[in-house]
Amino acid sequence: MIRFLLHQGILSALVPLLALVTSCSKREASYESQFKHLITVHYPEGNSLVGFEEKKQKIDRDLRATKAGFVSGVLCGGNSVDFLSIDTDFDLVDEQRLIERYVENGWLPAETKVEYERDPNGDSH
């Protein structure tokens, strides 16, 4: 089978693709490891999952595009969203502005409770 793939040139074409995927995942890991602060957004009880995935993706794309952080976790129970977590390195004031902007954009519900966790050692949480 390997000889066939080599003969067809398929295997040699896959090697650079595999190297690209590996290098992208390493860059992603180093990107994510640089953020030391955690924002946990608690959704109001019974907040529907309808439209949530699209809003979460908008938040994550915005954070990554501005190199401000990324969506690091989500907890859903049944048909509702419990919380969403964001890793960032912003100071507290900028983090609060960020959450306000996401509420204004309609990406987060206005009734959310937000916790800002700081790591005093600068270590990742």
Q: What is the mean pLDDT of the chain?
A: 77
pTM: 0.69
Residue 124's pLDDT band (boundaries 50, 70, 90)? very low
- What are the boundaries of each domain within the chain? 1-33, 35-117
Q: What is the mean pLDDT of residues 69-89?
A: 88
One DSSP character per residue, 52-121 reads: HHHHHHHHHHHHHHTTSEEEEEEEEETTEEEEEEEEE---HHHHHHHHHHHHHTTSS-TT-EEEEE--TT
State the CB neighbour count (10 A cutoff) for residue 15: 9
**What pLDDT, on the 0 to 100 scale, is given for residue 3?**
53
3-class secondary structure, 21: helix
Is it the case that residue 40 has pLDDT exceeding 50? yes
Question: Considering the chain, what percentage of its residues have pLDDT values greater than 90?
Answer: 32
CATH 3.30.70.3400, applies to 35-117 = yes
**What pLDDT, on the 0 to 100 scale, is given for residue 98?**
92
